[in-house]
Amino acid sequence: MKKIIPFLMLAFVSVFTVSCDNDDDVVQAPIDYDTYSTAYDIAPNFTRVNSSLYEYVNTFKSPLVESDVVLIYMQTDTTNNGSPIWKLLPYTFFTNNANNDEVDYGFDFSKFDFGITVNATLNLDSNATYYTNKRFRVVVVPAQTGKNAGLNYDDYNSVIKFYNIDESKIKLKN
């Protein structure tokens, strides 16, 4: 009996040590620590695919994490005080010509690269203004953090604010 009492006491102390732990009330949401929200500008040189389709492809310096999301905005104008106005792609522009042609700006991305396309119902070979001297903003964000946020990705300013992107640090990349 003398040999069993120390084992029972050890078992008793062990039970109280484990059950008195208060850390089980802490619940942490999953956070994507692999990605920091980032943004940069590009002024791409599009390549002709055919007379109504031009494209641009850019490779990331390092592959994205599978859960990352790429958003691409096109500068469509500026405000009276010179601030750029950004439209989320895909974006369709309707011309004021006799045929009321349309120009579609779209994009796709993988973890290795992204592409921007300019597709039109008019001949782009003779209408270079639709694909030259265009400025785009590429925004890479972790998908998990905005998943249930009710964030309006069409609103560029909301995206920048939500992901704490410092616009003063956004640079033009070639």
Per-residue pLDDT tens, the chain, 174 aa: give them.
Answer: 556 555 555 555 454 444 444 444 333 334 444 457 889 999 999 999 999 999 999 999 989 988 889 999 999 999 999 899 999 999 999 998 878 899 999 999 999 999 999 999 999 999 999 999 999 999 998 876 545 467 888 999 998 998 889 888 888 886
What are 91's two structure tokens? 């974006």
Give the pLDDT of residue 169: 87
Establish if 10 belongs to a structural domain. Answer: no
Could you tell me if residue 62 is inside a domain?
yes
Is residue 14 domain-resident?
Answer: no
Listed in order, strand segments (DSSP E) in the chain are 38-42, 47-50, 53-59, 68-78, 84-88, 91-94, 102-109, 113-120, 136-142, 172-173
> pTM of the prediction?
0.75
Does residue 12 form part of some domain?
Answer: no
Q: Given CA atoms 153, 158, 162, 167 in this order, what sign does their dihedral have?
A: positive
pLDDT for res 172: 85
- CB-count burial class (<10 Å; 0-12, 13-18, 19+) for 30: exposed
CA 110 to mean position of chain CA atoms: 12
For position 129, what pLDDT does the model report?
94
In this prediction, residue 173 carries a pLDDT of: 82
Q: Is residue 130 part of a domain?
A: yes
Residue 73 belongs to what domain range?
A: 38-173
Number of domains in the chain: 1
